[in-house]
Structure 1
Amino acid sequence: MSHSFTNPPEVLTFGEAMTMFVADSPGKLSDVEHFQRRIAGADTNVAIGLSRLGFHVGWLSRVGSDSFGDFIRNTLENEGLDCRHLHTDTQHPTGLLFKERALGGADPKVEYFRRGSAASHLSPQDASDIDFGALRHVHATGIPPALSASARELAYHTLKEARANGASISFDPNLRPSLWASEADMRKTLNALAMFSDWVLPGLSEGQLLTGQKTPYDVAGYYLDQGASAVIIKLGPEGSYYRGNLGGQEESFTVDGCHVADVVDTVGAGDGFAVGVISGLLDGCSARQAAQRGNLIGAQAIQVVGDMEGLPNRQQLQALETDQPTA
């Protein structure tokens, strides 16, 4: 429970967690009668993954004063998250989403009920009691700045303060084009946020859209020129590509993906990848080891129905890493 934390969090994530209803059976949502209730949100998936690996992770957000908000708070606290910065908004509801049960690794159709949600009213004020001096790392995604102008201000404020206080910052663009007024606005805003970040984690198509560059080498170069020290690009089943100067001099390489026999649900793969890379770099692994761990945890995430149910704890991760062929 959150009150058992005396020290402030060492890692901070922020954004919108939603209550998710996943169809029990395949088919159109209009035909489904039974759903399982879960929690959804790219930012919380990463927070939960890092918490399971033993990091003290704080979650900054808003939920409504409703049963869905209580469910989210309880779920996150049970996952070991520090929810002292999770505010209850009495004026606005918790966001919901409904997800199809997809077949054969197809992307499931999702319907959101999040407009005007409590989390869309996030603002810099919500960060007023954060101890930025205690933070070791902040993970950000492109979703909060897409929710509203005030949530965008919170994203800028949080990254600026974290940077000024010497925390490392990772940024996953996590493109949600439907939430943005225009593609140009999305591009401009997310590239500006990436400028505050040390480690940028786009998918290849996301990176191409945001930078206008084609190759992984050039996409990475765009962000390295803006001040990032590492760019780790997701290549889907092919694995990942690294270009950066974490070890003192610049290097670039591709790390092969992990074979997955049975893809159940692709949602959450990128978040699992982020958990692997961030935890690896915070653990002091080499860039190659961190990218390998990203591939490995991303591959776990797609073998289960939920978004974060496949994320391993430290013991499970050690067993998985022991089983891997060494590169």
Structure 2
Amino acid sequence: MQKLDVVTFGEAMAMFMAETPGPLHEIEHFTRELAGAETNVAIGLSRLGLKAGWASKVGSDAFGQFIMKRLTEENVDLEHVYTDERFPSGFQIKSKVLTGDPEVQYFRRGSAASFMGVEDFQKEYFSNARHLHMTGIPLAISSHTRAFAYAALSHMKEIGRTVSFDPNLRPTLWTSKQEMIEITNKIAQKADYVLPGISEGEILTGFNTPQDIASFYLDKGVKLVVIKLGDKGAFYKSGIEEGVVKPYEVKEVIDTVGAGDGFAVGLVSGLLENLSLQEAVLRGNAIGALAVQSAGDNDGYPNRQQLIEYMKIPIQEVN
């Protein structure tokens, strides 16, 4: 069992992206890709040369085989991924847009990943990682995946590992908005680093300024809060410093899906490599900017040399 820099877990899906703009029911041709917030992060970290592992379940079907093949090609460690003969792998279809966010329809209910429970949790595998990255999606998928998330978080904190948490809110997966807020915040306040988007922060805390949103979590024991501000960059606040890191200029936004996961890749990798907080946030901004300039969820994530070259581009001024 190899040592890992980062471990994460969740559901991956086959994704069919429309090749032309228009309503999904009118599209005739799609391109198959891989989707999943946690797999996006694992792929992004692996491309930068870090050792990343992903824990999950897939079905014994073509989609499951595709998921495993793609992640193997990206050098993501899959030792904690199980094939479940009883349930299928999920998939989704995504529209192509010229502006704004694409429409995404999910076909994931009853998937193999949704039955990944606490009985599947391998302490030894997670102990081999320096850091755990979580999102709020497994909290919402099912009671099984929520129990797995609790087990993973508790174990990693118990053995002194750092934990980052991106709320990645999916309201349609929750039974109510109140349940989403309560359970998401229960997990968030136990993490070391919390990474909400500004709109997510407003929903979860009731505050509407980055400073107040950050303080909400810092007061509960979180060490660092970084709030994604879209084309305004990112705000960060810890117990000793705070500030805004300017964004990279993006002349054409092709697809925003995966930008937040790309930001997490940059921030987490930077912190693990002992960059300053401002430098780590800047790296997050860079990968997020690259992500929105490509159609796939993780197509724009760079390797190490591509990142170095891109970060030589001047950042834009924020009014």
Fold shared, TM-score > 0.5 on shorter chain: yes
Match of 2:253 in 1: 263
**Over residues 243-289 of structure 1, what are the superposed CA-to-partner deviations in whole Å (9 max), with x where a residue is unaligned?**
003xxxx1111111111001101111111111111111111011111
Q: Note if contact 1:101-1:108 (Cα within 8 Å) is conserved in structure 2.
A: yes
CA distance in 1, matches of 2:44, 2:314: 20
Match of 1:198 in 2: 192
Partner SS for 1:55 = coil
- Runs of 4 or more consecutive aligned structure 1 residues displaced over 4 Å after TM superposition: none
Matched AA of 1:96:
F
**Over residues 41-66 of structure 1, what are the superposed CA-to-partner deviations in whole Å (9 max), with x where a residue is unaligned?**
11111110011111111110111000
**Over residues 118-151 of structure 1, what are the superposed CA-to-partner deviations in whole Å (9 max), with x where a residue is unaligned?**
1111111221253343220000000001000111
Match of 2:206 in 1: 212
Match of 1:3 in 2: none
Matched, 1:238 2:228: no
Identity in percent: 50
Q: Note if contact 2:249-2:315 (Cα within 8 Å) is conserved in structure 1.
A: no
Tell me how far 1:215 sits from its aligned partner. Answer: 1.1
Matched, 1:305 2:295: yes
Please identify, of 67-76 and 209-218, the stretch whose mean Cα deviation from structure 2 is larger.
209-218
Match of 2:14 in 1: 19
Partner SS for 1:221 = helix
In structure 2, list runs of 5 or more residues that go unmatched: none
Q: TM-score, normalised by structure 2?
A: 0.97
Match of 2:170 in 1: 176
Matched, 1:276 2:245: no
Tell me how far 1:228 sits from its aligned partner. Answer: 1.0
Q: TM-score, normalised by structure 1?
A: 0.94
Matched AA of 2:268:
I
How many residue pairs match? The answer is 317
Matched AA of 2:32:
R
Q: Note if contact 1:132-1:165 (Cα within 8 Å) is conserved in structure 2.
A: no
Matched AA of 1:202:
P
CA distance in 1, matches of 2:13, 2:3: 24
Tell me how far 1:322 sits from its aligned partner. Answer: 2.9
CA distance in 1, matches of 2:163, 2:47: 20
Partner SS for 2:89 = coil
CA distance in 1, matches of 2:35, 2:312: 30
Aligned Cα RMSD in Å? 1.4
Partner SS for 1:25 = strand
